[in-house]
Amino acid sequence: MVRMLLHMPEDKLNLRVAQFVMLFKTIYPEINVALEEEEVEVNEWAVSWLRYLLCRELAPDCLLRLWDTYFAAESPDDGILLHTYICLAILDNLQGTIIELSERSEMLSLLHHLPVMDMDQIITQAQSIRDEVYARNLL
C-alpha cells in the first residue's frame, strides 16, 4: 500500500484521469466514438477504474492476479504504474463488444462489471501498450 500511496497519490487523481483520457482517445478512437454516440462520459467509469485499481469492476480472481503483479514487482514501472496501461489493455480486449452495444445502459453495465479475462494476457498487452506510448512520446 505504501507503493500505491507513493506512486498514485489521491491528490494526483485528476492528472492520472486526464492522462488516461488522452491516451484512450488517441489509441482507441473507435471505442471513444461508440461511447460518445451513446453519451457515455469517460469520467462515469474511468475515475473508479483509476482510483480503486479496478476492485469494483473485476472478478476477485482476476483482481488478485492483477494486484499480485502490482505489489510484487520490484519496480513501480512494472507494478503499480502499469495500471493505466492495464485499463487500456482491458478496453482493447472489450473493443468489439463495446462497439456492438447499442444502448448507454449496456455500455455502462459492461464497464462497471467487467467480464472474466485472462489477466496474464492483459498484463502482457499492457506492457506492450506502455512501450508503444513511450516510443510515440505520447506522455
Structural domain for 85, as ranges = 7-135
Per residue in 70-111, pLDDT (tens digit) is 888 887 667 788 999 999 999 999 999 999 998 999 999 999
In a domain, 119, yes or no: yes
Per residue in 35-81, pLDDT (tens digit) is 999 999 999 999 999 999 999 999 999 999 999 998 888 876 677 88
In a domain, 125, yes or no: yes
User: From the CB of residue 82, how many other CB atoms can be counted at a distance below 10 Å?
Assistant: 22
In a domain, 2, yes or no: no
Backbone φ and ψ for 59, nearest 5 degrees, come out as -65, 150
pLDDT of residue 139: 80
Distance CA 132, CA 117 (A): 22
Distance CA 34, CA 30 (A): 6
CB 107 within 8 A of CB 98: yes
Report CA Rg, the chain.
14
pLDDT band at 3 (very low <50, low <70, confident <90, very high): low
pLDDT of residue 79: 78
CB 107 within 8 A of CB 40: yes
In a domain, 1, yes or no: no
Distance CA 118, CA 45 (A): 21
What is the number of domains present in the chain?
1
CB 84 within 8 A of CB 139: no
* Domain CATH code at residue 95: 1.10.472.80
In a domain, 50, yes or no: yes
